[in-house]
Structure 1
Amino acid sequence: MHTSGPTPSGRPGSPARTANRALRVRDSDRVDACAVLDAACGDGQLTELEHAERTRIAMRAGTFAQLDAVLDDLQIPANLVDRPATSRAHRRPARRWLRAGAFVAAVALIGMLCGWVSSDDGPVASHRTPDMTTAAGLESFLTTYRAHFGDLLADEVVLHPDTASIERPAAGDPSKSERTWYRDKFSSGSTTSRKPDLQPLDLGKLDLAKLAALLAGAAQSVGAPGNPISHIIIDRSGISRDAPPAVSIYVGGAVSGYLMVDFTGEPLYISKASR
Structure 2
Amino acid sequence: MTGSGQRGAAVDSALRARDIDRAQASTVLDAAYAEGQLGAQEYHDRVSKANGSRTLGELARLVADLQSPAVFGGDTAAERPRRRAPERYPADTRARSADRAETVDALDTAHADGQLDADEHAALVELATEARTLGDLSTLVADLQQRPSAPSKPRIHPDRTRLVVIALAIATAIAGFVWTVRDDEPAPAASATVDYDAASPLVIPTPMLNTLAGFLQFRDDYRAGFGDTLVDEAVMHDEHASAV
Fold equivalence (TM over 0.5): no
Q: Which has a greater percent of strand?
A: 1
More helix by share: 2
Alignment TM-score, normalising by the size of structure 1: 0.26
